[in-house]
């Protein structure tokens, strides 16, 4: 019991880093993903193709590779040449990667709204922006909640990838204790932390789904 109490402070510190990365990534990637989704359904072919290329690149390469590129290779890229500290590098990589996935979720949600809704809004004199803001996006939300839930849970687990940048996240904190004390208990405790986080997310998204389901009645 005493050993468990001794390992909790570093594990809680690591969990704080994990939660911080999770929250900041969501706050950045969701708005960026929405912007990309709106460009994805744009009437301008050049805009659509550019966004398609970005989404293809970010979804087609491993997140760990993107992490390593931004941290180690970005300073050597001509013109850019920016060297970011470890945590900001992780934020940039995660936000850019998850924005691509959220963009596809939002695009599917936008396209799931019946075309008649657009025509009805147009007949009421609404502009394209007003139609999106007042008609399409509110209806889109109920369709995207299940895939958004999946991506949010995946993000919780993907935060463990930042150990490659030597950041002290939950998994790295657990591994350090295992190597020091020769016990697997920290891994079990870390698994408990991850399960609690995913359980909270699952509960929150299920509540939102039930809320929108009641509105349909």
How far is it, in rounded angstroms, from Cα 139 to Cα 186?
44
- pLDDT tens profile 14-46: 999 999 999 999 999 999 999 999 999 888 889
Least confident range of 2-6, 70-74, 160-164: 2-6
Give me the mean pLDDT over the 103-125 stretch.
85
Q: How far is CA 182 from CA 3, 168, 174, 178, 187, in A?
A: 12, 19, 11, 5, 11
Q: Which residues of 188-212 are buried (b: 16+ CB within 10 A; e: fewer)?
A: ebbeebbeebbeebeeebeeeeeee
Q: What is the pTM of this model?
A: 0.91
Which residue would you say has higher pLDDT here, 207 or 6? 207
The per-residue pLDDT for 31 is 96
Report the CATH architecture of 2-216: Orthogonal Bundle (1.10)
Give me the mean pLDDT over the 161-169 stretch.
91
Q: What does the mean pLDDT of the chain come to?
A: 90
Output the six-digit token pair for 208: 């939102």
Q: Which of 70, 41, 42 is nearest to 58 (CA)?
A: 70
The per-residue pLDDT for 166 is 87
The per-residue pLDDT for 198 is 96
- pLDDT tens profile 172-205: 999 999 988 888 999 999 999 999 999 999 999 9
Give me the mean pLDDT over the 70-78 stretch.
87
Q: Domain spans of the chain?
A: 2-216
């Amino acid at each position: 019991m005493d050993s468990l109490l001794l390992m909790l402070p570093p594990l809680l510190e690591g969990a704080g880093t994990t939660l911080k990365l999770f929250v900041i990534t969501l706050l950045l990637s969701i708005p960026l993903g929405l912007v990309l989704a709106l460009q994805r359904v744009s009437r301008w072919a050049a805009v659509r193709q550019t966004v398609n290329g970005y989404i293809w690149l970010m979804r087609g390469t491993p997140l760990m590779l993107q992490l390593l590129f931004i941290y180690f290779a970005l300073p050597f890229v001509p013109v850019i040449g920016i060297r970011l500290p470890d945590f900001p590098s992780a934020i940039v990589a995660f936000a850019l990667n998850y924005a691509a996935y959220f963009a596809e979720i939002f695009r599917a949600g936008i396209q799931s709204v019946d075309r008649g809704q657009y025509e009805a809004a147009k007949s009421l004199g609404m502009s394209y922006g007003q139609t999106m803001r007042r008609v399409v996006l509110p209806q889109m939300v109920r369709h995207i909640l299940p895939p958004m839930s999946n991506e949010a849970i995946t993000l919780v687990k993907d935060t463990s990838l930042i150990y490659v940048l030597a950041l002290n996240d939950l998994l790295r904190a657990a591994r350090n204790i295992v190597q020091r004390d020769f016990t697997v208990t920290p891994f079990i405790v870390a698994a408990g932390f991850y399960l609690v986080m995913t359980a909270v997310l699952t509960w929150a998204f299920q509540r939102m789904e039930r809320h929108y389901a009641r509105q349909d009645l």
